[in-house]
Amino acid sequence: MHVRYYKYYRLNRIYGIAGNLFGIFLILLGFYTIFKSWSGILFVIVGSFMVFTVTASVVDFKKYRISFPYLISGLIIVGDWVYVRRDMELVLIETKKPYKVRCSSNKVIDVSNAKYLIFLFDKKKQKQFLILKTKSKEKAEDELAHLSDMLGIHSKENIKTTPKKILKIL
């Protein structure tokens, strides 16, 4: 049986959705102008930097460590490793971001999107690292159990909160 020693989770794009769309526009503009001028290469480089720069988390099961790196242009990894100790714990947090929607009959409907986050906390709950972000509760519970078993640390789950209150309750 082949065991994977590294697990990679992509978390966020650094520049958000607007930066991602602008980066795609710059790449397309660069490919269009590359045949007319050498400045098109600059557009392609800047656009690819904006599109492919992300934050992630990498878990090394063999050496019991976790990294929260920035992947610059998807190629260059910048970040430090943190060794997992037995007094650390994994926490599954359910966040709901509420917003209101008005329909055509002038009724206001409250809608909330649930996201499930897995954080790593140390004994004093001072250091925190986001390991996983997903929309599926089943996937979050499975990953929490898998990470807890592979790293040999305690886990908590089903803490419900809003995004602003995450730091206050922990």
8-22, 44-58, 109-123, 141-155, range with the lowest pLDDT: 109-123
Return the number of other C-beta atoms located less than 10 Å from residue 147's C-beta.
22
pLDDT above 90 as % of the chain: 16
Read off the amino acid at residue 34. I
What are the strands, taking DSSP E only, across the chain?
A: 6-13, 54-60, 65-67, 70-72, 76-78, 81-83, 89-102, 108-121, 128-134, 154-161
- Confidence check: pLDDT of 76 > 80: yes
- Tell me the C-alpha distance between 124 and 119, whole Å: 14
Mean pLDDT over the full length of the chain? 83
What is the tens place of the pLDDT at every residue in 113-123?
788 888 888 87
Q: Determine the pLDDT at residue 8.
A: 85
Residue pair 25/46 in contact (Cβ under 8 Å)? The answer is no
Q: Determine the pLDDT at residue 170.
A: 43
What is the tens place of the pLDDT at every residue in 93-109?
888 777 777 777 778 77
- Confidence check: pLDDT of 145 > 70: yes
- Confidence check: pLDDT of 148 > 60: yes
- Confidence check: pLDDT of 111 > 50: yes
**Domain ranges (residues) in the chain:** 6-83, 89-161
Higher pLDDT, 137 or 98: 137
Of the pLDDT bands very low, low, confident and very high (cuts 50, 70, 90), residue 126 is low
